[in-house]
Amino acid sequence: MAVAYTKQHFSDYQNPKECLLILFVCFLVFSLLFTFASSTSMDSDVKNMLFPEILRDEAVTRLNDLGKVSDADGYLERTFRSPASVRAVDIIGGWMDEAGLRTWVDHMGNVHGRVEGMNTSVEALLIGSHLDTVVDAGKFDGSLGIISAISAMKVLKINGKMEKLKRPVEIIAFSDEEGVRFQSTFLGSAAVAGVLPSSALKISDKSGVTVQEALKKSSIDIEEESLFHLKYDPASVWGYIEVHIEQGPVLEWVGFPLGVVKGIAGQTRLKVTVGGSQGHAGTVPMSLRRDPMAAAAELIVLLENLCKNPKGYLSDFGHCNDSIMESLATSLVCTVGEISTWPSASNVIPGQVKFTVDLRAIDDMGREAVIFELSNQMYQICERRSVSCVIERKHDANAVMCDAELSSQLKSAAYTALKRMAGEIQDEVPVLMSGAGHDAMAISHLTKIGMLFVRCRGGVSHSPAEHVLDDDVWTAGLAVLAFLETHVNSENIHVQY
């Protein structure tokens, strides 16, 4: 039947005009089919260049998986060398292995994954972020930087570019950036940068366990001399980059998934201990009390007032010129995030109150001036109230500026990533300051640093509500990939599938 139908079909078109028409129609159909086929294959080529399975799907799955590695039930908490932290080290090490990196864990619990590339003897590019979290944390803070770097390296391995890297590349997942357990942050990155004093091993947590003991309990023996071996030789390092969730609202506000960090504000952590006279809540008349809780409340309100209006408090202070004052007015932020009382019962006037002060500003001299003035006024309040007051400095990190050249390379990488994702990009990649501290601050003592921020929903961080869109995770991975590709020798690349 089909044959008969075909014959009939042809016999209907014996007229040359009709033949031409049919040829024209055939040509049109063929061209349309060709255009469709080639555009489909172009789409899939572009899609292949974007590696969505690795840079988005797998990266997001890994962020979710790591977000479940917690010491607490029902919320995320992973502090320096806690059991969950040790599990996270194993998981991250496994991902690094799978991405083709040589891995090891150092004496401070940092996980390293390195590939030598073509020239083992030239300076290495370091890429890092942290594996520890705050209490009741979000799952992107720190983990996003580690996972996007591993994913990008995995793509380089798959597309045959890893062994063509012109310099060694090393990813480091740092063990302590939040400083929750020991109050002194950057234990891991400061050791690698060679700026961690050996006295840091003796700092103790709330239950009296020292850093050294915490490492020993989790199978790492460290002595003071080992710290010396952790330090990287500056001559062996080319630079350091870090990808991190923004933790603020700017990128969302300007509608951009990535931004380049210009610099990081300096920060100081204080511990204030106020001592009074412990007593019975029902029997000690108000006029005879030496209540450290009421004193602490006054100290905290002083802190808030001073930080809201530094000009009003520091205007007579000789070291602060107008530009420092201006910088303080726009960047100074102060927080009391932790407070405890002893013995902490509703019918007892406390004997002691301890609280933390976290104080940040872009200008280091300005920050010092604030601490000086704050301490003076705090002591005066305590004297007036006849309570004792001890102010200890637990952590200091000066403000750091990112390297201009590295920042411009990161900006190009971010631009390439955005262009690959969305076609033409009209706007400039935003440049912003970081109010949050980062391992890059410690590493700046070793080498030049650059950072990329990734947009987060509502600017919320240090909260389980912290969120990054799957596509923004993808863009971040693409940006690291684009950055790494500038360190690849592009001749003779053999794809390995």
Ligand X SMILES: NC(=O)N[C@H](N)C(=O)O
| Site residues, ligand X (CB under 6 A) | 141, 177-178, 185, 247, 436-438
Q: Which is nearer to ligand X, 142 or 292 (CB)?
A: 142
Q: Which is nearer to ligand X, 82 or 416 (CB)?
A: 82
Rounded least distance, CB 299 to ligand X, Å: 21
Rounded least distance, CB 475 to ligand X, Å: 20
Q: How far is CA 28 from the centre of its chain?
A: 55
**Which among 408, 126, 459, 365 is positioned nearest to 261, based on CA atoms?**
408
Rounded least distance, CB 186 to ligand X, Å: 9
The runs of H, that is alpha helices, within 135-198 are 143-158, 187-193
* Measured distance CA(418)–CA(475) in Å, rounded: 7
* Measured distance CA(234)–CA(239) in Å, rounded: 9
* Measured distance CA(294)–CA(350) in Å, rounded: 10
As a dihedral over the C-alpha atoms of residue 227, residue 232, residue 233, residue 239, rounded to 10 degrees, the angle is -150
Q: Which is nearer to ligand X, 123 or 396 (CB)?
A: 396
How far from 427 is each of 243, 258, 434, 451, 470, CA to CA, in Å? Answer: 21, 12, 21, 19, 22
Q: Which is nearer to ligand X, 251 or 387 (CB)?
A: 251
Q: How is residue 274 written in tokens?
A: 């106020």
How far from 74 is each of 56, 71, 135, 189, 464, CA to CA, in Å? Answer: 26, 9, 11, 29, 10
Q: How is residue 127 written in tokens?
A: 């890429």
Q: How is residue 452 written in tokens?
A: 């990329």
Rounded least distance, CB 142 to ligand X, Å: 7
Rounded least distance, CB 178 to ligand X, Å: 4
Rounded least distance, CB 185 to ligand X, Å: 6
DSSP 8-class letter at 288: G
Rounded least distance, CB 172 to ligand X, Å: 16
Q: Which is nearer to ligand X, 141 or 363 (CB)?
A: 141
* Measured distance CA(104)–CA(114) in Å, rounded: 9
Rounded least distance, CB 404 to ligand X, Å: 22
Q: Which is nearer to ligand X, 101 or 187 (CB)?
A: 187
* Measured distance CA(108)–CA(201) in Å, rounded: 10
Q: Which is nearer to ligand X, 132 or 373 (CB)?
A: 132
Asked if 380 contacts 306 with a C-beta cutoff of 8 angstroms, the reply is no
* All residues at 6 or more sequence positions from 380 whose CB lies less than 8 Å from its CB, including other chains: none
Rounded least distance, CB 392 to ligand X, Å: 18
Q: How far is CA 315 from the centre of its chain?
A: 36
Rounded least distance, CB 420 to ligand X, Å: 27
Q: Which is nearer to ligand X, 298 or 364 (CB)?
A: 364
Q: Which is nearer to ligand X, 123 or 136 (CB)?
A: 136
User: In residues, how long is the chain?
Assistant: 497
Q: Which is nearer to ligand X, 51 or 182 (CB)?
A: 182
Q: Which is nearer to ligand X, 370 or 436 (CB)?
A: 436
Rounded least distance, CB 92 to ligand X, Å: 18
Q: Which is nearer to ligand X, 117 or 437 (CB)?
A: 437
Asked if 66 contacts 147 with a C-beta cutoff of 8 angstroms, the reply is yes
206: amino acid identity, one letter: K
Q: How is residue 41 written in tokens?
A: 């294959």
Question: Is the four-CA dihedral 167, 168, 169, 174 of positive or negative sign?
Answer: negative
* Measured distance CA(475)–CA(257) in Å, rounded: 7
Asked if 176 contacts 132 with a C-beta cutoff of 8 angstroms, the reply is yes
**Which among 108, 114, 89 is positioned nearest to 188, based on CA atoms?**
108
Q: How is residue 305 written in tokens?
A: 């007032």
Rounded least distance, CB 278 to ligand X, Å: 33
